Structure 1
Amino acid sequence: MRLSPENRRMHLPESMKKRGVRQGVLTLIVLLAVTLLQGCFLTVKEAVNGGLSHEINEREDVVYSFGTGPLNLDRLDDFMERKNGSQRIILYTIEGDPIFTEVRYRDNKLVVAYDSTEDAFGPKETGTYTCRALEKSKGSTALKYTLTGCGGEYPEAALLWIDYKLSEQDDFGFVLKYGVNRKNEINTLEGKLVKDLQDGTTAEAAEFRPPQAKLQSIYRELVLSGYEQDKTLTEACNIKPAVSYELLVHMNGSERRFAWSECDQSADGKGMTALAQHIISEVQEGEYYQALPETKGYYE
């Protein structure tokens, strides 16, 4: 099992070491969170009354699994901000087994309940432990939610780590068309960047190749947006002229395609528009876009 530098000093219980050998070197950092949570639990063992519910609420629970990315991640941020109530997190192992966790604020501390009884290959256990705080760190290659000030042998535990290292992907590219009639195009598959001058003409950058840092930033937002999940989007719009979007993501031989308009104010629509705006902003800051001529007209 691969550990991040800040966790290499941590020693895992023997049962966890065996599980790490079984799973091998994983690209999914979230499994580190599962392991460390189990480590904390094994040290501070307290029975969970009745256990946690194994029914998954896809509207309320934070869910993370390999192949689909995070679901309802904003709920964990809301929980941290309001500092009351509870939040459930379901992490799937690489074999597809759910690990259930509930974090609850109580007396200015965090009570963490844990249930791994559906993990076919790991210890089937339930328990609780207490931590002082939950911290969030969003880096260029990983998003980390870390429990700190925990009792027992492990004072820190990864509640949820999401890895988005672009360097670990074999093949990545995308095409984003946007604007009125989608005349603007950002195309890393063909090395094409097209700007709508809004006077009936367009300008194109030659041999468009965005820097790796920009691609990493875009890939990060793609992962955090849950682009691998099914989205309910609409292209219908009663605004004239309307801005619309079309996004094609190519990843390791597979493709995902989305189309929507600025009128789509659903949660999925807002999320995809925010993603598109991030991509556009990253590209417009670069030298290829800056070298293109200024817009000459406007749409009425």
Structure 2
Amino acid sequence: MKILSLVAMITAGIWLNGLYDNGDGKKTALLPIHEPPSEAYNMNEAKKRGDIIWGYEYYNIERFHEFLANTNAKMKDKIRITSYTMEGDPIFKDLVFDGKKYHYTFDNSHDAYAGQDKGIYKDICSEILMEEPAEPAFILNGCSKQVDTTELF
């Protein structure tokens, strides 16, 4: 269960930060990119596809541990973390490790109640760190579109 908090922090840290420094000292709003969203699918389909599911139900958490082991060994790997809103709308979080960097995509374009923050957001981060305060926390660090590190609970 502690690993699951990672997923929440990935999302919260990157996207709730809201602003990033674009290199010239100016703060810029983090806007969704214009890219077609992933196809929406239900929890049963997510399980068939091998997604890591967290939220109301937890599934395939061992795949996250495998992803961490692979990325620590500098092996290319990718995972999709899928959560569902109370209404059943999917929210997708993709992490792709290219052997050097973590490419993170957050897609809440199917969330009927996402409001003005609805869309697809991307970032590239240099590492995942683990901290152990009261509970282990995972942090995406060195991300291009944010000022601080991104906690992943």
TM-score normalised according to structure 2 size: 0.66
Contact 1:31 1:93 in 2 (8 A): no
Of 53, 75, 80, the residue aligned with 2:63 is 75
**Greater radius of gyration (CA):** 1
Offset of 1:35 from its aligned partner?
2.9
Distance 1:53 1:75, change over 3 A: farther
In structure 1, the gaps of 5 or more residues are 1-27, 162-300
Whole-angstrom distance in 2 between the partners of 1:61 and 1:129? 20
For 1:144, give the aligned amino acid. Answer: A
After superposition, the Cα gap between the structure-2 partners of 1:131 and 1:121, relative to the gap in structure 1 and judged at 3 Å, is same
- In structure 2, relative to structure 1, the CA distance for the partners of 1:81 and 1:92 (3 Å cut) is same
SS at match of 1:89: strand
- 2:144 equivalent to 1:155: no
Paired residues of 2:35 and 2:120 also in contact (CA < 8 A): no
Does residue 133 (structure 1) correspond to residue 127 (structure 2)? The answer is yes
| Paired position in structure 2 for 1:113 | 105
Residue pair 2:6, 2:137 contacting (<8 A) in 1 also: no
Shift in CA distance, 97/138, structure 1 to aligned 2, threshold 3 Å: farther
Q: Note if 1:64 corresponds to 2:59.
A: no
CA change 1:50–1:146 in 2 (3 A) is same
What's the offset of the Cα at 1:149?
A: 1.1
Match of 1:47 among 33, 39, 44: 33
The CA RMSD over aligned residues, in Å, is 3.1
What are the Cα deviations for residues 19-54 of structure 1, in whole angstroms up to 9, with x where unaligned?
xxxxxxxxx896554332323576454636433343
Question: 1:55-83 CA deviation, whole Å, 9 max, x = no partner?
Answer: 342151111013x3x31111111112112
* Aligned AA (1:72): N
Q: Secondary structure at the match of 2:146?
A: coil
What letter is aligned with 2:15?
A: Q
RCO comparison, higher one (Cα < 8 Å, 6+): 2
- What CA distance in whole angstroms lies between the structure 2 residues aligned with 1:116 and 1:127? 9
Identity %: 20
Tell me the number of residue pairs that the alignment of Structure 1 and Structure 2 aligns: 130
Per-residue CA shift, 1:106-152, capped at 9, x if unaligned?
25001111101122222211121110112344665x44332111123
Asked if 2 retains the 8 angstrom alpha-carbon contact of 1:34 and 1:99, the reply is no
